[in-house]
Structure 1
Amino acid sequence: MERCCCGLMTPEKQAVPLQSVDVQVDVKDHVATVVSTLLYQNKEEKPIEAVFVFPMPSEAAVCHFSAKVGETLIVAEVKEKKQAREEYDDALSSGQQAFLLEESDQSPDIFSMSVGSLPPGESASIRLEYVTELDVQADEALRFCLPAVLNPRYQPAGTESSVNVTSVPSSLVPYDLNFSVRVESPRPVSKVESSCTMDPVEYLNQDQTKASVKLAAGHKFDRDVELLIYYKDSHQPSAVVEAGQASAKPGSLMGDPVLMLSLYPEFPKDIMSSVSSSGEFVFLLDRSGSMDCSMGHSPQSGTRIASARDTLLLLLKSLPMGCYFNIYSFGSIFEQIFTKSVKYNQKTMEEALEKVENLRSDLGGTEILAPLKHIYSQGCIPNQPRQLFVFTDGEVGNTKEVINLVKSNSGFHRCFSFGIGEGASSALIKGLAKEGGGHAQFITGNDRMQPKVIQSLRFAMQPAVVDISVTWDLPKGVSASVLSPPLTSIFQGQRSLLYAQLTGQSKERAEACVTVKYRLARRPTEKKLDFSLKPAEDTGLTVHRLAARSLIRSLEQDQEGARWEKDNVVKKKIIHLSVQSGVSSSFTAFIAVNKTSGDAIQGPLLRRNVLLPS
Structure 2
Amino acid sequence: MPQLPSCCGLIVIGSKQPVPLKGITVDVQVKGFVADVSATLKYKNEEEKAVEAIFVFPMDEDSAVYSFEATIEGKTIIADLQEKEQAQSLEDRSHWKNATDSNAHKTYDEAIKQGHQAFLLEECESSADVFSCNVGNLPPGQEAEVTLKYVRELPLEADGAVRFVLPAVLNPRYTPKDQPISVTATRPQVPIGEIPYTLSLSAHFQSAYGIAKIECNCATSPVEYTNEDKTAAKVSLSEGHKFERDVELLAYYSEVNKPSVTVEAGLVSSDAAKEPKSGSLMSESVAMLNFYPSFPAAEGPTNRGEFIFVVDRSGSMECPMNSEPNAPMRIQSAKETLVLLLKSLPLGCYFNIFGFGSNFESFFTESKEYTQQSMEEAVKMVNEMEANFGGTEILRPLKKIYDTSGRPDHPRQLFLFTDGEVGNTKEVIDEVQKNSNNHRCFTFGIGEGASTSLIKGMARAGSGISEFITGKDRMQTKVLRALKCSLQPTVNNVSLAWSLPSGVEAILLSKVPSAIFQGQKSIVYAKLQGKVETEADGEFCLQYTFKDELLKNTIRFPLKIEKVERPTIHRLAAKSLISELECGKDSRSEEMKKRILETSLQSGVISALTAFVAVNKDTKTPLEGPPVRRDIPAPSNYGFMCSGGARPVAMACRRPPQSKKMATGAGANHWRCFGPPMKCSANASKSAPVAAYDGMPPPIVMQSAVIPAAPPSVPVEETPSFVKLISLQNADGSWNLNPEIFSILGISEQEASKKNPDQTKDSSVWTTVLAVIWLHSSCLDQREEWELLEGKAISWLKAKAGSSLDQFVRAGNELLKSSVDPKVFGL
TM-score normalized by the length of structure 2: 0.71
1:205 equivalent among 227, 237, 255: 227
2:37 equivalent among 34, 37, 48: 34
Q: Distance in 2 between matches of 1:531 and 1:275?
A: 35
2:196 equivalent among 174, 178, 195: 174
Are the counterparts in 1 of residues 334 and 475 from structure 2 also a CA contact under 8 Å? Answer: no
Q: Distance in 2 between matches of 1:371 and 1:507?
A: 54
Are the counterparts in 2 of residues 307 and 420 from structure 1 also a CA contact under 8 Å? Answer: no
Are the counterparts in 2 of residues 152 and 166 from structure 1 also a CA contact under 8 Å? Answer: no
Q: Does 1:10 align with 2:13?
A: yes
Tell me which residue corresponds to 1:116.
136
Q: Does 1:582 align with 2:610?
A: no
Q: Distance in 1 between matches of 2:508 and 2:571?
A: 14
| 1:157 Cα deviation after fit | 1.0
The range that moved more, 486-495 or 115-124, is: 486-495
| 1:250 Cα deviation after fit | 3.2
Tell me which residue corresponds to 2:238.
216
| 1:603 Cα deviation after fit | 3.5
| 1:589 Cα deviation after fit | 0.4
Are the counterparts in 2 of residues 170 and 613 from structure 1 also a CA contact under 8 Å? Answer: yes
Q: Distance in 1 between matches of 2:367 and 2:253?
A: 42
| 1:507 Cα deviation after fit | 4.7
- The superposition leaves residues 366-407 of structure 1 with CA deviations (integer Å, 9 ceiling, x where unpaired) of 111110001111111111111000000001000010001001
TM-score normalized by the length of structure 1: 0.96
> What residue identity is the alignment partner of 1:369?
L
| 1:111 Cα deviation after fit | 0.5
More strand by share: 1
Are the counterparts in 2 of residues 308 and 420 from structure 1 also a CA contact under 8 Å? Answer: no
Are the counterparts in 1 of residues 442 and 464 from structure 2 also a CA contact under 8 Å? Answer: yes
SS of the residue 1:441 aligns to: strand
SS of the residue 1:124 aligns to: strand
- The superposition leaves residues 1-38 of structure 1 with CA deviations (integer Å, 9 ceiling, x where unpaired) of 89xxxx99634331110000111111100001111111
SS of the residue 1:177 aligns to: strand
Q: Distance in 2 between matches of 1:604 and 1:9?
A: 24
Greater RCO between the two (CA within 8 Å, min separation 6)?
Answer: 1
Q: How is 1:245-394 mapped onto 2 (pairs within 5 angstroms)?
A: 245-247=267-269, 248-269=276-297, 272-394=298-420
Are the counterparts in 2 of residues 47 and 118 from structure 1 also a CA contact under 8 Å? Answer: yes
Q: Distance in 2 between matches of 1:319 and 1:275?
A: 9
SS of the residue 2:282 aligns to: coil
2:499 equivalent among 473, 487, 490: 473
Q: How is 1:498-517 mapped onto 2 (pairs within 5 angstroms)?
A: 498-507=524-533, 510-517=536-543
Q: Distance in 1 between matches of 2:632 and 2:203?
A: 26
Q: Does 1:48 align with 2:55?
A: no
SS of the residue 1:411 aligns to: helix
Q: Does 1:70 align with 2:73?
A: yes
> What residue identity is the alignment partner of 1:52?
F
Are the counterparts in 2 of residues 67 and 74 from structure 1 also a CA contact under 8 Å? Answer: yes
Q: Distance in 2 between matches of 1:8 and 1:93?
A: 32
Q: 1:24 to 1:498 in 2, by over 3 A?
A: same
Q: Does 1:185 align with 2:207?
A: yes
Q: Distance in 1 between matches of 2:277 and 2:503?
A: 18
Are the counterparts in 1 of residues 175 and 182 from structure 2 also a CA contact under 8 Å? Answer: no
Are the counterparts in 1 of residues 120 and 135 from structure 2 also a CA contact under 8 Å? Answer: yes
Larger Rg: 2
SS of the residue 1:170 aligns to: coil
> What residue identity is the alignment partner of 2:559?
L
Tell me which residue corresponds to 1:597.
619
Q: 1:310 to 1:217 in 2, by over 3 A?
A: farther
| 1:508 Cα deviation after fit | 9.2
Q: Distance in 1 between matches of 2:608 and 2:568?
A: 20
Q: Distance in 1 between matches of 2:116 and 2:410?
A: 64
| 1:326 Cα deviation after fit | 0.5
Tell me which residue corresponds to 2:518.
492
1:138 equivalent among 158, 162, 173: 158
| 1:446 Cα deviation after fit | 4.9
| 1:239 Cα deviation after fit | 0.2
Tell me which residue corresponds to 2:759.
none
Are the counterparts in 1 of residues 117 and 137 from structure 2 also a CA contact under 8 Å? Answer: yes
Identity percentage over the alignment?
50
The range that moved more, 254-263 or 312-321, is: 312-321
> What residue identity is the alignment partner of 1:483?
L
Q: 1:364 to 1:200 in 2, by over 3 A?
A: same
Consecutive unaligned residues of structure 1, counting only runs of 5 or more, are none
Consecutive unaligned residues of structure 2, counting only runs of 5 or more, are 3-9, 85-101, 270-275, 637-827
Q: Distance in 2 between matches of 1:134 and 1:437?
A: 19
> What residue identity is the alignment partner of 2:172?
P
SS of the residue 2:242 aligns to: coil
1:102 equivalent among 122, 128, 140: 122
| 1:95 Cα deviation after fit | 0.7
SS of the residue 2:583 aligns to: helix
Q: Distance in 2 between matches of 1:168 and 1:40?
A: 19
| 1:445 Cα deviation after fit | 4.1
Q: Does 1:234 align with 2:256?
A: yes
> What residue identity is the alignment partner of 1:268?
P
> What residue identity is the alignment partner of 1:71?
G
SS of the residue 1:332 aligns to: coil
Aligned residues: 604
